[in-house]
Amino acid sequence: MKRYWKYAKPYLSAFIIGPILMIVEVIGEVVMPWLLSNIIDNGINGGKGVSYIIAMGITMVVTALCMMAGGVGGAYFAIKASSGFANDLRKDLFRKIQRFSFTNIDQYQPGSLITRLTNDITQVQNMIQMLMRMALRAPGMLIGALIMAFALNPGLALVILCVMPLLGIAIYFIMKVAFPRFTNMQKKLDALNTTTQENLTNIRVVKSFVRERHEEDKFRRANTELKDSTLSAMNVVIFAIPVMTLAMNITTLAVVWFGGNQIIAGSLTPGVLTAFINYVVQILVSLMLVSFIILNSSRTLASARRINEVMRTDIDLTDENAAHKDMVVRRGKIEFRNVYFKYYKNNEKWVLENINLVINPGETVGIIGSTGSGKSSLVQLIPRLYDADRGEVLVDDVNVKDYSLKNLRTGVGIVLQKNVLFSGTIRENLMWGNEEASDEEIQRWAESAQAHGFITSFPEGYETELGQGGVNVSGGQKQRLCIARTLLKRPKILILDDSTSAVDTATEARIRESFRNELKGTTKIIIAQRISSVMDADKIVVLDDGKIVGMGTHEELMESCEAYAEIYYSQMEKKVTAS
Amino acid sequence: MSRISEERKQALLRRYGSKMANVKAGPGAMKMPGPGPGPGGRRGGFGGPGPRGAMIKGGKPKNASATINRLLAYIGRDKVKILFVFACVLGSSVAGLGGSYILRPVINNLVSAGSAEEKMRNLVMGLLIMAGIYVVGVLCTYLQQKIMIGVSQNALVRIREELFAKIQKLPLKYHDTHTHGDIMSRFTNDLDSVGEMLNHTMVQIFSGVITLIGTITLMFVTNWILAIVTIATIPMLFYAGGFLGKKSRKYFAGQQQALGAVNGYIEESITGQKVIKVFCHEETAMEEFDFLSDDLREKQIKAQFFGGIMGPVMGNLSQISYAITATVGGILCLTANFDIGGLTIFTNYSRQFSRPVSELSMQMNTIFAALAGAERVFEVMDEMPETADPADAIAICSEANPVEGAKRIKGEVVLKNVTFGYVPGKTVLKRINVTAKPGQKIAFVGSTGAGKTTITNLINRFYEIEEGEIFIDGINIKKIKKDSLRSNIAMVLQDTHLFSGTVRENIRYGRLDASDEEVVAAAKIACAHSFIERLPNGYDTVLEGDGANLSQGERQLLNIARAAISKAPILILDEATSSVDTRTEKYIERGMDRLMRNRTTFVIAHRLSTVRNADLIIVLEHGEIIEQGTHEELLALGGRYYQLYTGAVELD
């Protein structure tokens, strides 16, 4: 809760003024019946006459106008404070997520993070607004009406006091039973959403395997479960209103009984009884509001908890302790010393074991190995997308942990296996590499990545909006755009993680050619499936099951490394048979 | 110093805010999973004054009455229950009115000129009557709510199911041009608004109307002068309500757009978070988000203000009418022999009367949001589904898997003069002619964008061709039932798509009635068995969404296993092993050979080692076939294929 103080502080004045203004409304509400009883008792029975009544009437109208001003003002401040609070919280949450390491990100499903930034914040916002408008009003009305009731006639007021606790207990029980059911309902809703989302993402698979009926059955099950859990929760909640109404009714009956007796005996005026009946209603309505607030706050608590979870996450990869924050990557030398790594710290099995590797500045290194052998994991340690569990990774003879993340990642460019482009023009996407790139630079590196050709074939060229429909950017084109984007960074170390799997061999050869010519000083690491992609590298590293099983030039490996030779022959078989 | 220019700010608003979620389209363009903002709505609907509408999704409805009718139709299926509900509403409203009316004689009795015993007796009787009325009222309230919730939930279940079923039938073109986030938001936000309305609003409107009518009647019965005084204040209420409503709707639209922009940006950033980190783009992302979030706050405050003050304004206007009523009533008591009991209850009526009016006006937001939401839902339901099979469409089956009433096919596939484009005017395939004899392996190669995937999209009728024909065993595929056609074609796509569930379930997706042994056998063919065994629970390991706990290559192997288990006579492999290393691919090859035996296979690959042993290799360029033949023939030609192939060999 202390965390939230930080967000409330800037709006403190609103948080205070708002509820105060609401109190004006409350006071007015409480005063009105009393003024009415004045009209009855003094004006009519007390003989003060028409002018008195009119005076009272005017007072009432003025009171009502004050109430309106109070209510409007209260609403204004409530909205201002809650929107501001929520806005700041939302921005901070986004910021926190931006600082997440890859491991942190992996802990959450993307959908879950999105929901926390949207729906959960909304819940908190709504609750704040409601609290501000009700928090003082409901108890205020309650207390005010009770005070007035007591002031008017303590005896009758006691009647009300007797009923209240019983009502409170009833509401408490209702909520206790309802809360876990609401939690369950949320889960079922999540499940329904997941089913729907998966179906939409996988619609091609569904259609091609003709599984529409199957999917509909899945959906029906989730749908029914949601309905059942909703009904189960709601069926409890709907007891609330009848119970409260009953309480109100019983109280009214009691008040009329006791009050009536007193009137008959002459110790109570009808005006007071009238006012009292009004107060009974007010008190019980305010009790209803209070319980409504409490009910909702239990849902909001869940949202707040989820937001907290993210805010409290320990970022496990920071450059706080970096010793050389100003250092930049100058030469491009990479070294792995006894590196061990695994993604899930609870797993026994290492993803990378005992990696020892030296890559000299300007070298071209190929990494090859079977599926799941650890190639991507290896290279991701270099720009510290993940940290090694044991051993050291060094760039330019300095431990990567001693660089500032910004400098490290500016100097090390990596094209990930899964390619993501963002909404915007092609130019805007490419400029992620260098926000100040000139058109010539953009074109130069697009050409190098063999992307310029197809970009200019689009009617709008570099200004083509990606993702606005109409443009079919195929897998290979996407890959080339991602390569161009990284090239624009002019990194000292360039890592390509299987970034040409969707590109045909001729184009790929041209890309490699342009690398050879234009990236002479850059250290290049290429992960690929095709031997042809890595055959002319200065050094080839062969990985198997997380260990380096071969390192050397193509010729050396053909002699010494069985795994390498296998891969080679599996691709070059034709050469052997045809000639 | 701001990193983002004014231009960029405008672009952000435009790009992300055009729909509820991000709008990205076009086949092959990036797909963002977008779950959309989740469940909203408040439960436990109390009718009292309260801040509602803080974040009601939706906007202005376009054709209100048609939508309302359609919605009512869903509820209308529970006609009897609805009638019962309305009877209960009637009962509870009448009880409410009666309860307050009865106070008049009770109080009058207390101040009348009778004896104490008489008064006492009357009091007791009055109380008993009141008690009776109250009990009826409470019972009716409870029953009405209980039944109504059941009815509205049933309606929601029906709408959801129909929406889902409809989505299954929509052509791929729809899916390619609408983002998942957008569709999802119709399931969540839009239906939530509808649910909210069905749950509470309908009943409240009805009860409000009854209460109103009843109260007015009683007011007139009690004292017509006062009644007129009170009613004279109604126009004031309506005017205020209308004015505020109009203002709030206007700002509402702005809020929705800003909300959509924020949601869209969040979706994209979170999904692409790793790329943002790799490019140190975090600072820019934070700034851009700050801008969008601030924009939302501004628009929110405006929109919610007008909606939010409806309560205080309407409520206090009715206080004013209460004040006027009390004054005039008091004067009447003095001057016109109006009894005090009557004044008491009249002031109650005045309160009771204005409450439904203000509640109704506050419901307007809910109603409009619900109607807009329902419209969006119906919009999807009204989309053209895939064209229905013609009446004379036949079913087909393979020799290996005979089905009653289906024509046995051997798997010969012929494409004749096929010309096609996704977008009119932009032809992707030009006059393609291919003949695949049963059991043959046909490979398509060519540069990206040449049209290879498109051909496979046409064979199983994901898209329909306008020009040209495709035949299976001489039967035009348009004459084959779509379901039958597709169940006889097994596809392994480039993008791996797995479902949450166990590994076993995922493989079994290929053929739901496959036995466990068959699942293992299929996994072995795909060389997936060994890594599956190494998973924590083996075949019963639960896969996270889209198999996040496996590597890309492993996911592809599961894809292949899924196709292996289906007994379809035609197989399409689209870059099925692009993420699998060549050594593993070689091991798979034997399995793949078994996979492809007796099946007509279409293979698309960039890796020429995959296509080398095809019976026929077709080289596509810009949608046209420029070369075809066997591997040796094409090499001998020394043309494009030779170029593509020797690009690999060159460095030998």
Q: Could you give the CA distance from residue A201 to residue B184 in angstroms, rounded to a whole number?
A: 11
Residue A385 and residue B578: Cβ atoms within 8 Å? Answer: no
Question: Do B162 and A243 touch, CB atoms closer than 8 A?
Answer: no
Q: Could you give the CA distance from residue B611 to residue B607 in angstroms, rounded to a whole number?
A: 7
Mean pLDDT of A444-469: 81
Cα-flanking dihedrals φ and ψ of residue A152, to 5°?
-70, -50
| Per-residue pLDDT at B205 exceeds 90 | no
A140 or A394, which is more confident = A394
Question: Do B595 and B562 touch, CB atoms closer than 8 A?
Answer: no
pLDDT tens by residue, A346-373: 777 888 999 999 999 999 999 988 777 7
Point out the residue among B34, B300, B340 whose CB comes nearest to the CB of A40: B340
On average, the pLDDT of chain A sits at: 83
* Residues on chain A touching B575 (C-beta within 8 angstroms): 475, 502
Question: Do A62 and B336 touch, CB atoms closer than 8 A?
Answer: no
pLDDT tens by residue, B410-427: 889 999 999 988 777 778
Give residue B60's pLDDT.
Answer: 47
Give residue B49's pLDDT.
Answer: 28
Residues 6+ apart with CB under 8 A from A199: A206, A215, A218, A219, B164, B167, B168
| Per-residue pLDDT at A177 exceeds 50 | yes
Give residue B136's pLDDT.
Answer: 92
E strand residue ranges, B366-439 = 396-398, 407-409, 413-420, 429-436
Q: Could you give the CA distance from residue B338 to residue B321 in angstroms, rounded to a whole number?
A: 19
pLDDT tens by residue, A152-175: 888 778 888 887 788 778 878 887
pLDDT tens by residue, B590-606: 677 777 877 899 988 77
Judged by a CB distance cut-off of 8 A, whether residue B313 touches chain A is yes
Judged by a CB distance cut-off of 8 A, whether residue B272 touches chain A is yes
A40 or B570, which is more confident = B570
Point out the residue among A53, A230, A433 whose CB comes nearest to the CB of B279: A433
pLDDT tens by residue, A251-283: 888 888 888 888 878 788 877 887 788 787 777
Give residue A92's pLDDT.
Answer: 93
Mean pLDDT of B110-120: 77
Distances (CA, A) of A381 to A167, A494, B525: 62, 13, 34
Question: Do A204 and B173 touch, CB atoms closer than 8 A?
Answer: no
Cα torsion at B428, B430, B433, B434 (round to 10°)?
-20
Token code pair at residue B436 = 């695949």
Which of B12, B15, B43 to mutate to test binding with chain A, by most A CBs within 10 Å of its CB? B43
How many alpha carbons lie under 13 Å from residue A531 in its C-beta half-sphere? 24
Query: Which DSSP symbol is given to B112?
Result: S
| Per-residue pLDDT at A110 exceeds 90 | no
| Per-residue pLDDT at A510 exceeds 90 | no
Q: Could you give the CA distance from residue B431 to residue B620 in angstroms, rounded to a whole number?
A: 12
Mean pLDDT of B553-576: 85
Residue A72 and residue B312: Cβ atoms within 8 Å? Answer: yes
Among residues A224, A230, A218, A234, which one has the least CA distance to residue A185?
A230
On average, the pLDDT of chain B sits at: 77
Strand, coil or helix: B396: strand
Q: How many CB atoms lie within 10 A of CB A319?
A: 17
Token code pair at residue B104 = 């008049």
Binding-face residues of A in 84-143 toward B, CB within 8 A: 84, 86-87, 90-91, 94-95, 97-100, 102, 105, 109-111, 113-115, 117-119, 122, 125-126, 129-130, 133-134
Give residue B363's pLDDT.
Answer: 67
Token code pair at residue B186 = 């119709």
CB–CB contacts below 8 A, A to B: 583
B452 or B503, which is more confident = B503
Cα-flanking dihedrals φ and ψ of residue B601, to 5°?
-120, 135
Which of A505, A543, A572, A573 to mutate to test binding with chain B, by most B CBs within 10 Å of its CB? A505
Sign of CA dihedral B249, B253, B254, B256: positive
Judged by a CB distance cut-off of 8 A, whether residue A431 touches chain B is no
Burial B435-464 (b: 16+ CB within 10 A, else e): ebebbbbbbbbbbbbbbbbbbbbbbbbbbe
| Per-residue pLDDT at B25 exceeds 50 | no
Give residue B23's pLDDT.
Answer: 28
Distances (CA, A) of A238 to A235, A349, B155, B200: 5, 54, 19, 12
Q: Name the amino acid, one letter, at B189.
A: N
pLDDT tens by residue, A112-121: 677 777 777 8
Judged by a CB distance cut-off of 8 A, whether residue A246 touches chain B is yes
Give residue A93's pLDDT.
Answer: 93
pLDDT above 90 coverage of chain B, percent: 9
Burial class (CB in 10 A: 0-12, 13-18, 19+), B114: middle
| Per-residue pLDDT at B294 exceeds 90 | yes
pLDDT band, residue A442 (cuts 50/70/90) = very high
pLDDT above 70 coverage of chain A, percent: 95
Question: Do A69 and A284 touch, CB atoms closer than 8 A?
Answer: no
Q: Name the amino acid, one letter, at A402.
A: D
Query: Any idea which of A84-98, B179-193, B259-273 has the lowest mean pLDDT?
Result: B179-193
| Per-residue pLDDT at B55 exceeds 50 | no
Binding-face residues of B in 539-578 toward A, CB within 8 A: 544-546, 551-554, 557, 562, 566, 575, 578
- CA–CA–CA angle B98, B104, B110 (5° rounding): 135
Q: Could you give the CA distance from residue B139 to residue B92 in angstroms, rounded to a whole number?
A: 8
Helices (H) and strands (E) in chain B, counts: 25, 14
Mean pLDDT of A545-571: 86
Task: List the strands of the sheet with B429-436, edge to edge.
Answer: B429-436, B413-420, B467-472, B475-476
Q: Could you give the CA distance from residue B615 to residue B603 in angstroms, rounded to a whole number?
A: 11
Token code pair at residue B238 = 């309506």
* Residues on chain B touching A126 (C-beta within 8 angstroms): 42, 51, 54-55
Report the DSSP beta bridge partners of residue A529: none
Residues 6+ apart with CB under 8 A from B117: none
Give residue A357's pLDDT.
Answer: 93
Q: How far is CA A374 from the centre of its chain?
A: 30
B228 or B178, which is more confident = B228
Give residue B28's pLDDT.
Answer: 31
Mean pLDDT of B321-346: 79
Binding-face residues of A in 463-502 toward B, CB within 8 A: 466-478, 485, 489, 498, 501-502
Sign of CA dihedral A453, A455, A456, A458: positive
Question: Do A340 and A353 touch, CB atoms closer than 8 A?
Answer: yes
The pairing of strands A523-527 and A493-497 is parallel
Mean pLDDT of B584-592: 70
Mean pLDDT of A125-135: 80
Cα torsion at B169, B170, B176, B181 (round to 10°)?
-80
Token code pair at residue B493 = 């796509």
Judged by a CB distance cut-off of 8 A, whether residue A353 touches chain B is no
Q: Could you give the CA distance from residue B346 to residue A203 in angstroms, rounded to a whole number?
A: 63
- The model's pTM is 0.72
Query: Any idea which of A481-495, A525-539, B348-362 has the lowest mean pLDDT?
Result: B348-362
Q: Name the amino acid, one letter, at A280.
A: V
Give residue A205's pLDDT.
Answer: 80
Helices (H) and strands (E) in chain A, counts: 22, 12
Cα-flanking dihedrals φ and ψ of residue B502, to 5°?
-80, 165
Distances (CA, A) of A536 to A6, A367, A413, A523: 58, 12, 21, 14
Binding-face residues of B in 89-128 toward A, CB within 8 A: 99, 103, 106-107, 110-111, 116, 119-120, 123, 126-127
Give residue A19's pLDDT.
Answer: 82
Residue B545 and residue A194: Cβ atoms within 8 Å? Answer: yes
Q: From the CA of B69, how many Å to the nearest CA of chain A?
A: 24
Give residue B519's pLDDT.
Answer: 93
| Per-residue pLDDT at B366 exceeds 70 | no
Mean pLDDT of A474-485: 84
Give residue B43's pLDDT.
Answer: 26
Give residue A575's pLDDT.
Answer: 42
Give residue B364's pLDDT.
Answer: 66
Q: Name the amino acid, one letter, at A490.
A: R
pLDDT tens by residue, A231-257: 998 888 788 778 888 888 888 888 888
Rg (CA), chain B: 35
| Per-residue pLDDT at B22 exceeds 60 | no
